[in-house]
Amino acid sequence: MARGLFPRAWIKKSFFFQARISFVRVKYLFLTWLTVFVGGWVIYVQYSNYTELCRGHECKNAICDKYRRGIIDGSACSSLCDKDTLYLGRCLSTSPNNQVYTGGWGDVDGVIRCQVGEVLHYELGEEPEPRREAAVFDKPTRGTSVEKFREMVFNHLKSKLGEQANLASLVTQILSVADGNKDGHVSLPEARSAWALLQLDEVLLGLLLQERGHTPRLMGFCGDLYVTERVPYGPLYGVSLPWPLEAWVPSGARRSMDQWFTPSWPRKAKISMGLLELVEDIFHGNYGSFLMCDLSAGHFGYTDRHDLRLTDPRAIVSEDAFRRTMRALHCEKDDDCLLGADCRTSCDVAQKRCREEVTQPNLAKACRALRDYLLRGTPSELREELERQLYACMALRGSAGQMDMEHSLILNNLKALLWRQISHTKDS
């Protein structure tokens, strides 16, 4: 009897063992299939996003077609379309309408931007509208004289910047840029390219600010494609996390992580001086006052010499344009009166209209952006005074025009404090 039970028990045990092996195989087969499916789906989504976002070849083909037909011309056209010495590199686009690529022009690194479809006007922080038809470059028309084109440019600048005493000199500067081949006169194709570029607010603001070195230099253009010098380091600070982790990291921990990979403190002080000088230069500048409506770190970078560069001039709007926008806004509460991430006014509840005066000046917003950046790694003997000045700066309220003296005093004190710390170093 015992001998009869043994084979039966062995067979029963063997059966359960084989069943377990089969279950494990099915489990791993299912997990393998699920991994392949999810991985394939992620690759498909990423590829679809890439092909939708990165359409530089379409942009180049459209621009070169118009160049060869004599519709447009500019300083970059021959290199892009004939000689192939200006080429598109890595895609950096975040919107299908606004193509951004790294690129090379001979032995110079640059950033190439091009509009695919009509130039779209949308507020900072909002999603762009769906793609529209490409620009036709129909202005100025054939027969337009240089003087008439000068008048067109003057009126356009006046509509963007308001009444300014120096507009005539700015027009002359723009006409000089428009003369791509530097032969002393602006041809009709060059004028069409320049006019298309002037419809892009970031190009106009970049031209206004590059004189003081705050924005990358405009190197060349062809139609509404243009090339600026490449800023080697950017964003100003911040750690890029994979999207599954992004939502799970607490804001306090994220703020600390953003400061992990930043330069030494004296170099951060020099970069910060650059931001303070930008604030100073756009406050009652040569072409009016401007507001910084998005001080996100991604809009700034810096050079090998640790000089700050504003890499996305769309973060800045003229005070005149801001006032017009606010006048047109209906509101129920203060939160409705916002342009970009940082330009706020208050709501006149009785009139249901936004007031025109910003609640915080540029300097207060700049100090808020620099607080964590500067206070991490600060020399111990400086920390208390620097912290006190930064918080006094962040407490500023109202527009800079309402508090000229206090604004200037805080700005000068902060610049002097930083300069004393770095003036004797090689980074200065």
Q: How confident is the model at residue 55 (pLDDT cuts 50, 70, 90)?
A: confident
Q: Kindly state whether residue 71 falls inside one of the protein's structural domains.
A: yes
Task: Assess whether 407 and 306 both reside in one domain.
Answer: yes
Task: Assess whether 275 and 352 both reside in one domain.
Answer: yes
| Mean predicted confidence (pLDDT) in 249-264 | 74
Identify which of 200, 243, 208 has the alpha carbon closest to the alpha carbon of residue 225. Answer: 200
Task: Assess whether 325 and 259 both reside in one domain.
Answer: yes
Range with the poorest average pLDDT among 116-130, 157-171, 219-233: 116-130
Q: Kindly state whether residue 40 falls inside one of the protein's structural domains.
A: no
pLDDT at residue number 343: 93
- Which of 204, 229, 254 terminates a domain? The answer is 229
pLDDT at residue number 50: 44
Residue 248 or 12, more confident:
248
- Which of 229, 260, 278 terminates a domain? The answer is 229
**Is residue 48 over pLDDT 80?**
no
- SS3 state of residue 207: helix
φ and ψ at 321, to 5 degrees? Answer: -65, -35
Task: Assess whether 179 and 281 both reside in one domain.
Answer: no
Distances (CA, A) of 358 to 319, 330, 334, 414: 10, 16, 11, 22
- Which of 203, 229, 255 terminates a domain? The answer is 229
Contact 241, 305 (CB under 8 A): no
Which secondary-structure segment (H or E) carries 227?
strand 225-229
Q: How many domains does the chain have?
A: 2
Quick one: what percent of the chain has pLDDT higher than 70? 77
Q: Over 88-148, what HEC string results?
A: EEEECCCECCEEEEEEEECCEEEEEEEECCCCCCCCCCCCCCCCCCCCCCCCCCCCCCHHH
**Is residue 119 over pLDDT 50?**
no
**Is residue 131 over pLDDT 50?**
no
Contact 410, 250 (CB under 8 A): no
Q: How confident is the model at residue 98 (pLDDT cuts 50, 70, 90)?
A: confident
Q: Kindly state whether residue 356 falls inside one of the protein's structural domains.
A: yes
Identify which of 90, 106, 15 has the alpha carbon closest to the alpha carbon of residue 56. Answer: 90
Q: Residue 274 sits in a domain of what CATH number? A: 1.10.510
In tens, the pLDDT along 171-184 reads 999 999 999 888 88
Task: Assess whether 222 and 314 both reside in one domain.
Answer: no
Q: Kindly state whether residue 32 falls inside one of the protein's structural domains.
A: no
367: domain range?
Answer: 243-424
In tens, the pLDDT along 286-322 reads 888 899 999 998 899 999 999 999 999 988 999 888 9
- pTM greater than the 0.75 cutoff: yes
Q: Kindly state whether residue 35 falls inside one of the protein's structural domains.
A: no
Averaged pLDDT score across all residues of the chain:
82
Task: Assess whether 294 and 150 both reside in one domain.
Answer: no
**Where do the DSSP E strands lie in 277-351?**
290-292, 300-302, 308-310, 316-318, 338-339, 343-344, 347-348
Q: Kindly state whether residue 52 falls inside one of the protein's structural domains.
A: no
DSSP summary character for residue 230: P
Range with the poorest average pLDDT among 108-122, 127-141, 339-353: 127-141
Q: Kindly state whether residue 46 falls inside one of the protein's structural domains.
A: no
In tens, the pLDDT along 161-208 reads 888 888 999 999 999 999 988 888 899 999 999 999 999 989 999 998
Distances (CA, A) of 176 to 75, 150, 211, 229, 393: 12, 11, 14, 19, 40
Task: Assess whether 255 and 189 both reside in one domain.
Answer: no
Q: Kindly state whether residue 130 falls inside one of the protein's structural domains.
A: no
d(CA 137, CA 191) in angstroms, rounded, equals: 10
Task: Assess whether 215 and 253 both reside in one domain.
Answer: no
